[in-house]
Amino acid sequence: MSTLEPGTDLPPQEYVVTRADLVAYAAASGDDNPIHQDEEIARAVGLPGVIAHGMYTLALAARAVQEWAGGPGRVEQVGAKFTKPVVVPAGDEGTTVRVAGTVKSVADGRATLALTVTCGEDKVLGMPTAVLRV
Amino acid sequence: MVDQSLVGRTFPPSETYVVTRERVAAFAAATGTPWDEADPAPATFPIVVAFAAMRGLMDDPSVGIELRRVVHGEQRFAYERPVVVGDELTATLTVDTVRSLGGADVIGTTSAVTDADGALVCSAKATLVHSAGEGA
């Protein structure tokens, strides 16, 4: 991370998300809202299908940041708005979330990253940001 | 409608959450985050504690929030230090703002996640969007 400079594009990360991942995440996080697991319930509340927890997508963004940081424990801030749902179809293929990042600024041993988190053509997180110790 | 008097109210701390190897491993596996036993927990792991504090807010009958009408609008974490196995964490939620927006209440909250010594581990800001009920 010591070579990070403002304007640096970080290598985009792509992560496959399946319904099995969401079931595992529900158990691990305690967020067992059925819209993240059950197609019928998701459609009944007007969603296009089972959607990932917003926090699941944010966890993937943090996973990319950890990858770029070269290891865990260096994140000082991470956050986003949950602007569009990530629809996860049944089956092993799931869907793919892509996390791209650019170094916005480096100062006082900290790098501020601007992230772009997409699923297909949709930006699924609004104003996703992260600050790292470098 | 959620009452403006909610602003500034701090709710009782969540139950103590013990960060075990198994719990971190399960969270890391579910999110595909590379993790070794000696590592700190993945960055968004404190949501498990913050979420319990949010449930406390939503389950309080005096607040008037129905869980099924709540959407998680925004989440931001600021860390004092990473979470590690062995931590005993509690989250204490304060309501910062209540705004009305297009028939929904937008509730801004901050949960202070603290360790067994009472030291701040991270601050978790969440925005909860509560859509108006129609008597259903």
Q: What value of ipTM does the predicted structure carry?
A: 0.95
Grade residue A46 by pLDDT with cuts at 50, 70 and 90. Answer: confident
Domains of chain A: 9-133 (3.10.129.10)
Per-residue pLDDT tens over the stretch A71-118: 999 999 999 999 999 999 999 999 999 999 999 999 999 999 999 999
Query: Residue holding tokens 């772009």?
Result: A116
Task: Name the interface residues of B facing A (CB cutoff 8 Å).
Answer: 23, 26-27, 29-35, 39-44, 47-48, 51-52, 68, 71-79, 82, 125, 127
Domains of chain B: 4-131 (3.10.129.10)
Sort out which chain A residues have CB atoms less than 8 A from B40's CB and list them. Answer: 72-73
Per-residue pLDDT tens over the stretch B69-89: 888 999 999 999 999 999 999
pLDDT for B67 beyond 80 = no
Q: Does the distance separating the beta carbons of A54 and B72 come in below 8 Å? A: yes
Q: Report the gap between the CA of A70 and the closest CA in chain B (Å).
A: 11
- pLDDT for residue B135: 44
pLDDT for A8 beyond 60 = yes
pLDDT for B133 beyond 80 = no
Query: Residue holding tokens 């998680």?
Result: B72
Query: Residue holding tokens 């099995």?
Result: A20
